A and B are shown apart, each in its own frame.
Chain A
Amino acid sequence: MTPALTDAERGFQRSRVTRLRRPPVWVATVVVVAVAAWVLFLADGAPAGAAVDDPGKFLVTVLDGVTFAGLLFVAASGFTLIFGLMRTVNMAHGSLFLLAAYVAIRVQEAMVGRSRNIDPADVGLLDWLVPLLAGAGVAAVLGLAIQQVFLQWNEGQEMRQTLLTLAITVVLADQMLREFGGLAQRVVWPGAVTHFFSIMGERYAVTRLVMLGIAVLVGVLLWLWLNRTSVGMVIRAGVDDRQMVRGLGINIRRVFALTFLVGSFLAGVGGVLGASFAGAAPGTDGSWLLNALVVVIIGGLGSLKGAAAGSLLYGTVVAFSPAYLPSQYSYYAIIMTFGLLALVLAVRPYGLFGRPA
């Protein structure tokens, strides 16, 4: 250990070291240009065909990517918020996501008055919004409880906190299987938004745009909260230098608790959106934890901007690779998604907007 070096100095030196070796930057540029050329002009053998030949399919794929990115952003924003301030990797994020979905499903079933084959026409706006708030609320309270009981007293021990939340995940997954069973369930979109419109001859669903709209709303509210309120400023200051915030006499514990509450609430909102979009079942928790991880690794842990950029990039790759890989390779689309990660990390080990911890 070298007490002579402060964290900041160390980070500075390290980033200088990284900057010195950056041949991957131009590699990444070449890859991006090549991919764009392929998608636009060359992709004849792909299921969707080259973009200049079939602009409708291209546009739909872009929309698919952007709208899915909205869902990804909601799911990842709480995760990155918590990490940014507290340096806690909340492995229970996926569990909170799934729990909120299950709670919302139960509430919606009770409100609509039936438990299976619910038709969107029978679902009013309130029958969706109330479950959303109920599910996210339960996730927020549980998240806060986890933070108060298991994380508050060992602040700063990142690995220990990570493993604690991991253990909680294992328990929660098992208990949710016991309570909610193993069958796939879903939250039903309200009838008011299950419409379609036509764009360049292709049909498109309003629900996907609703998803994107909610994501934008969440993003804007978060931005306002972090940039226009005093609490938000404390949080941002805490992201930069926790010691200093504490030194200023601010009760950072309360800020931590609040952040965890908001982060878990966002996980819950993501869960209800996700369950409306793709359903919920055992295993959904793991895959959404992974989605959130991928987004924040690409974007950089702890950065809201990074979460937005990471969601867009990840969503785009998810939408484009099955459509624009040559047909015989389309089975490898999902591997492509993670190839993106390797590419980003080769250029920027801490993600697009991240900084060394």
Chain B
Amino acid sequence: MSRLRRRASLALSVTAGLALLAAGCGGGDDDSTGLPADQQNAAGEGDGSPSGTGDGIRLGILGQCEGPFGGFHEDVVAGTTLALARFAGATPNSTTSALEGFSGAEVAGTPIELVGIGCGDDTADRIVQEVRRLVEQLGANVIIGPLSGDEGIAIAEYAKANPELTVFAGISGSQEQTLQVQAPNYFRFYGDGAIWSAGLGDLLHNQEGWDTVAVIADDYSFGHTSAAGFIADFCAVGGEVTHRVFPPLGTTDYSSYIAQLPNPDEVDGYFWAVGGTGTQAALEAFVNGKGDLTGDQHAGNLFFNPDLAQALGTDIAGAYVGGFATLPGDVRTPEIEEYLAAADETWETIPGSLSGNEPAPPSVAAAFGFFYGYYTAGVALVESLEAVGGDISDLDAFHEAIAGLTLDLPYGDISLDENRSGIVDVGLSRLVLDESGEVVQETVAIVPGVDQTFGGTFSPDTPSPGRDFPACEERDLPWVGNAIPVVDGVPQS
């Protein structure tokens, strides 16, 4: 019965459809002519740029306007814009926001046109859709971004499937996007979540005398990666990790997880990689269950960064903090001063995340990692274009030029390893109270030349960092003993 009816209705659809063909075509034409018009609309925003799309750079930036990092949308777009303003002659279209785009960017005769800004929400699904919109609808041939870990893996996979594209990662911190995915057109000019914990173990074990440590980290990729970097480093120099606790994301009451940690007299210290509301909530649960915080018994990854964790109480002062792309504000070399001054000259104000998305001097945002990661990507784009004389018709040569770059950047030189991931300097710092009673960072050391393999702990053949990986093993790390001490903001090298 129903089969018969279906067949009848299918037959009906064909005849009916043929009858409607003329009308259908009309409608279809409307659709197809409407679309390119949309494209031109969006593309034409950078006015005055030549419309010939053949050999120019059509740039798309992937940010996040929703989700936990939604407040950093302005910061990351401003990062890339500043690089193009400094080195490619770009002029921002607004003096109070980077999201309005820029015009007039050109390197070695090749124009750089911003075709669109992708709006992620911290999920891989969404960022893939955003990059497809930028590339397949708006015709982007260079992408700068994304911002967060899982997004990075998804975009690297997308790059691998679309070899005609060139991607400079934004500030996404997962290891796999370069180490495992191995897309030849995906470049990362900054560290990763594990790298930003490097050197901390060396410092704590050899300088502060920690032999045992308990690790508590968010139970997802970035928490695992941060913990993995710390564990690899701390164990390499002979320390021992006694506990690993991974509370799930979205935990409200951390007390039962804190109860799984050893007491303060049973262990030399604790390493924390708990983000968002958890940073403070977990510490408070610790105070409730284990005893008062004595800062020097604690260390954390970038989640302890006082700009990110503004809700932290003052009793955390004394804790050590891993790095995050830039250096804390107490280090002021001439290059850094110049970079921050350039940011302040480019805009009057930028409503970045650190100022609660209220207008603030652009240098506030520029001194922080999210802005800076996108800045390094922009600089890499400019310098690679210069290296090939503005000619990107030979993509292999263009990619080779990028892979061979060594960028001279305000917070330290950056070059790429064979997986096209950054070899960077990591700044370690300590939380202290300033005169107004606010928690600030004081730089204690700079660890030069950290790469993502950690002397072989991580390789394309090892699993992704997880709850049990890596194991705690001694091994030679290239950077152990090379840390440059920093006293009162001045590196002692």
Residues of A within 8 A of B (CB): 47-48, 57, 60-61, 64, 68, 114-120, 174, 177-178, 180-186, 188, 196, 202-205, 207-208, 274, 277-284, 287, 291, 318-323, 330-331, 333-334
Whether B68 pairs with A182 at a CB distance below 8 angstroms is yes
Interface membership of B310, Cβ < 8 A: yes
A57 to B, closest residue via Cβ: B259
Whether A182 pairs with B438 at a CB distance below 8 angstroms is no
Residues of B within 8 A of A (CB): 66-72, 219, 246-248, 250-253, 255-257, 259-260, 276-281, 284, 287-291, 306, 308-315, 353, 356-357, 436-439, 467
Whether B71 pairs with A181 at a CB distance below 8 angstroms is yes
The interface residues of chain B lying within 8 Å CB-to-CB of A116 are 306, 310-311, 438-439
Which among A115, A182, A185 has the highest number of chain B CB atoms within 10 Å?
Answer: A182
The verdict on A207 contacting B72 (CB below 8 Å), with A61-B256, A183-B353 known, is no
Q: How far is the CA of A186 from the CA of B282 in the complex (A)?
A: 13
The verdict on A331 contacting B219 (CB below 8 Å), with A205-B287, A284-B277 known, is yes
How close is A306's CB to chain B, nearest CB, in angstroms?
Answer: 21
Whether A117 pairs with B438 at a CB distance below 8 angstroms is yes
Q: How far is the CA of A171 from the CA of B309 in the complex (A)?
A: 26
Whether A322 pairs with B68 at a CB distance below 8 angstroms is no
B250 to A, closest residue via Cβ: A287
Whether B71 pairs with A183 at a CB distance below 8 angstroms is yes
Q: How far is the CA of A119 from the CA of B314 in the complex (A)?
A: 6
Q: How far is the CA of A208 from the CA of B285 in the complex (A)?
A: 10
Q: How far is the CA of A57 from the CA of B259 in the complex (A)?
A: 8
Whether A322 pairs with B256 at a CB distance below 8 angstroms is yes
3 smallest CB-CB distances across A and B, nearest first, come from: A182-B71, A279-B277, A205-B288
Whether B306 pairs with A181 at a CB distance below 8 angstroms is no
How close is A305's CB to chain B, nearest CB, in angstroms?
Answer: 23
A286 to B, closest residue via Cβ: B250
How close is B249's CB to chain A, nearest CB, in angstroms?
Answer: 9
How close is A174's CB to chain B, nearest CB, in angstroms?
Answer: 7
Query: Told that A117-B306, A119-B437, A277-B252 touch, could you supply 18 new A-B pairs with CB distance under 8 A?
Result: A47-B259, A48-B259, A57-B259, A64-B255, A68-B253, A116-B311, A117-B438, A180-B356, A185-B310, A205-B287, A278-B253, A281-B277, A287-B252, A322-B247, A322-B260, A323-B259, A331-B248, A334-B248
The interface residues of chain B lying within 8 Å CB-to-CB of A281 are 68, 276-277
Q: How far is the CA of A319 from the CA of B285 in the complex (A)?
A: 13
Q: Helix, strand, loop or mixed for chain B's interface? A: loop
11 A-B pairs in the complex with CB atoms less than 8 angstroms apart: A60-B255, A177-B70, A181-B356, A182-B68, A183-B71, A204-B289, A279-B276, A279-B281, A282-B68, A319-B255, A322-B260
The interface residues of chain B lying within 8 Å CB-to-CB of A174 are 66
The interface residues of chain B lying within 8 Å CB-to-CB of A181 are 71, 353, 356-357
Q: How far is the CA of A41 from the CA of B463 in the complex (A)?
A: 38
Contact for A183 among B278, B284, B310, B315, CB less than 8 A: B310
The interface residues of chain A lying within 8 Å CB-to-CB of B281 are 277-279
The interface residues of chain B lying within 8 Å CB-to-CB of A48 are 259
Whether B467 pairs with A331 at a CB distance below 8 angstroms is yes
Q: How far is the CA of A183 from the CA of B370 in the complex (A)?
A: 14
Whether B71 pairs with A120 at a CB distance below 8 angstroms is no
Whether B246 pairs with A178 at a CB distance below 8 angstroms is no
The verdict on A204 contacting B288 (CB below 8 Å), with A119-B313, A177-B71, A281-B276 known, is yes
Q: How far is the CA of A291 from the CA of B312 in the complex (A)?
A: 25
The interface residues of chain B lying within 8 Å CB-to-CB of A186 are 277, 280, 311
The interface residues of chain B lying within 8 Å CB-to-CB of A323 are 256, 259-260
A68 to B, closest residue via Cβ: B253
Contact for A282 among B67, B257, B259, CB less than 8 A: B67
How close is B227's CB to chain A, nearest CB, in angstroms?
Answer: 14
Whether A318 pairs with B288 at a CB distance below 8 angstroms is no
The interface residues of chain B lying within 8 Å CB-to-CB of A47 are 259-260
The interface residues of chain A lying within 8 Å CB-to-CB of B309 are 184
How close is A209's CB to chain B, nearest CB, in angstroms?
Answer: 11
The interface residues of chain B lying within 8 Å CB-to-CB of A196 are 288
The interface residues of chain B lying within 8 Å CB-to-CB of A203 are 288-291
How close is B121's CB to chain A, nearest CB, in angstroms?
Answer: 10
